Amino acid sequence: MRPSQSQKSIRPSYHHGDLRQTLLRSAKQLIAEAGIENLSLRRLAERAGVSRTAPYHHFSDKNDLLCAIAAEGFRRRHQTAAAEFDNKAKSMLEKFHVYMNSYVQFAVDNPEEYELMFGRSIWKQQNSTEELRAVAYPCFQHQVDMIRCWQSCGVISGDNALRSAQVIWGALHGIAKLFIDGIYTDTAKIEEVTQCAIDMFIAKTI
Amino acid sequence: MRPSQSQKSIRPSYHHGDLRQTLLRSAKQLIAEAGIENLSLRRLAERAGVSRTAPYHHFSDKNDLLCAIAAEGFRRRHQTAAAEFDNKAKSMLEKFHVYMNSYVQFAVDNPEEYELMFGRSIWKQQNSTEELRAVAYPCFQHQVDMIRCWQSCGVISGDNALRSAQVIWGALHGIAKLFIDGIYTDTAKIEEVTQCAIDMFIAKTI
DNA sequence: GATGCATTTTGACACTGTCAAGATGTATTG
DNA sequence: CAATACATCTTGACAGTGTCAAAATGCATC
């Protein structure tokens, strides 16, 4: 039996301690600082105090590492979204408000991570990891389920649940991206834009 | 006087003939073939039959070249959008249909070019060229103007024109991107999703 | 024909991701 | 405890990238 330091990782590293987690942590930090396009495995290794190729024993690829970070993002987002939706103290309409604002806010607060999670680099071609898909698809599905739910209880109008869900998610994604990428520049009006989207989507009580 | 081959360019190059245009053409082709991330100035130069650094006398940067391509895309898109909106044979409602479908279709038909035009690489930081901004901003503005117009004539509901425009454009952008980036995978349903967006945005006649 | 300038090339530098081969430490087995 | 197996890390190397400096080339004009 090894002296168990295995609190945060099933199988801690031998030489470094826990290189995998260290790399993930540094990577997230470096991305937040300098953007995805400035993340290099070599700089990452340097920060962790190991040689350039050490990361390759924990991630098969640069893409593999990116997928791992994105997966973590999906887990986090899924958790908060689920918690917000399960809040029994709020009405369905209120929770729709919360969901819409929370989505855009998450994206704007973590622009680089959001870019990574929904960017082409990960999803195009066959780049997505098994692990990533296993985490992301339920997250997608949950979004669709929630919207379907709002629709069936009359908060949202329309008769085709899936299509409406795709449109609303599209709107959230588009608004978030236009702000993140610097095309919508008036970031002080993020909530106003989101509020306008809410107004346009909720069912009009005649 | 040189044997004038200067039909398509104001100032043809001396040695190559018209390297600038050749580079732009090859770049667009190469992007369409292999995606933006696989575009390199060196390969571009090789294709044009010049040395690696020749492009630097026509574009200050790789970014400069990308901006030039994007600018061309904006010009093209602006032209067709304007033509469709100025079509006097169609009603305002019909033209709203056309606009929505045309937007998404343009994006899906030219995914790499769309990615370039609205991607972060060009707009983040100070990357956008003077020329690009000079072409893109009127294109943005025209979209807002059109939507404002549809709103004032009752096709779209709502009382804040700018916000509604931002939401609708956001929805178009988001839907397009989710399809392009491979998150919405059922590409056969693009028109259905767009149609659903239209239904959700047009004013309900009670 | 000589000069000036636009254009292109060659050489070089600092990066990048990634592979192959060797070195080092840990765990397990005899 | 000694020996073997294996995970981990390092060194060296290769091909590729964007970009700069300096030299070479060709065209136009004086």
Q: Kindly state whether residue A206 falls inside one of the protein's structural domains.
A: no
Confirm whether B32 is domain-assigned: yes
Q: Are residues B176 and B92 in the same domain?
A: yes
In a domain, B123, yes or no: yes
Domain identity same for B36 and B123 = no
Q: Specify whether A115 is located in the same domain as A158.
A: yes
The DSSP result for A123-136, as a single string, is HSTT---HHHHHHH
- For residue A53, which phi and psi values (nearest 5 degrees)? -100, 0
Chain B residues close to A121, C-beta within 8 Å = 37
In a domain, B197, yes or no: yes
> pLDDT of B144-176, one tens digit each?
999 999 998 999 988 888 999 999 999 999 999
Q: Which of B59, B83, B98 is the C-terminal boundary of a domain?
A: B59
Do A47 and A81 lie in one domain? The reply is no
Identify the CATH number of the domain in which residue A181 sits.
Answer: 1.10.357.10
Identify whether B3 is part of a domain.
Answer: no
Min Cα distance A82 → chain B (Å) is 21
Residue A4 lies in a domain: no
pLDDT exceeding 90 applies to what percent of chain B? Answer: 80
Which chain A residue lies closest to B127 (C-alpha atoms)?
A182
d(CA B152, CA B96): 13
Three-state DSSP state, B202: strand
Helix (H, G, I), strand (E, B) or coil at A60: coil
Q: Indicate if the pLDDT at residue A8 is higher than 70.
A: no
Q: What is the pLDDT of residues B129-142, one digit of tens each?
A: 999 999 999 999 99
Q: Determine the distance between B94 (CA) and D14 (C1') in angstroms.
A: 59
Per the document, the length of chain A is: 206
Query: Are residues A86 and A162 both part of a single domain?
Result: yes
Q: Do A94 and A195 fall into the same domain?
A: yes
Please tell me the distance in Å from B173's CA to the nearest CA on chain A: 5
Q: Can you give the distance from the CA of residue A53 to the C1' of nucleotide D14 in angstroms?
A: 14
In degrees, to the nearest 5, what angle opens at C-alpha A173 toward C-alphas A92 and B183? 105
Q: Do A178 and B163 touch (CB under 8 A)?
A: no
Same structural domain for residues B101 and B25?
A: no
Name the residue among B28, B67, B73 with its Cα closest to residue B47.
B28
| Chain segment B27-80, per-residue pLDDT in tens | 999 999 889 999 999 999 999 999 999 999 999 999 999 999 999 999 999 999
Judge whether residue B10 has pLDDT over 60.
no
State the nearest residue by CA to the C1' of C16.
A40
Judge whether B31 lies within some domain.
yes
Rounded Cα–Cα distance for residues B39 and B201 (Å): 38
CA torsion, points A165, A169, A174, A175, in degrees to nearest 10? 110
**Number of compact structural domains in chain A:** 2
Query: Helix A19-34 and helix A111-118: axis angle, to 10°?
Result: 110
Q: Hunting for tokens 């070599």 — which residue is that?
A: A42
Q: Are residues A164 and A141 in the same domain?
A: yes
My answer on whether A107 and A192 are in the same domain is yes
Give CA–CA dist A81/A73, Å, rounded. 12
CB atoms within 10 A of CB B99: 20
Q: What gap in Å lies between CA A174 and CA A165, rounded to an integer?
A: 14
Q: pLDDT digits over A65-119, tens only?
A: 999 999 999 999 999 999 999 999 999 999 999 999 999 999 999 999 999 999 9
| Residues of B in Cβ contact (< 8 Å) with A158 | 196, 199-200
CATH number at residue A49: 1.10.10
In a domain, B206, yes or no: no
Of A37, A166, A178, the CB nearest to B193: A166
Inter-chain residue contact B181 with A123, CB threshold 8 Å: yes
A175 lies in the same domain as A113 = yes
- Using a 10 angstrom Cβ sphere, with 0-12 exposed, 13-18 middle and 19 or more buried, the burial of residue B182 is middle
Q: What's B54's domain CATH number? A: 1.10.10.60
For residues B187 and B100, state if they share a domain: yes
pLDDT band at A12 (very low <50, low <70, confident <90, very high): very low
Q: Residues A38, A129: one domain?
A: no
Mutation target among B164, B196, B198, B201 for the A interface, most CBs of A within 10 A: B196
Q: Are B114 and A183 in contact (CB under 8 A)?
A: no
Range of the domain at B55: 11-59
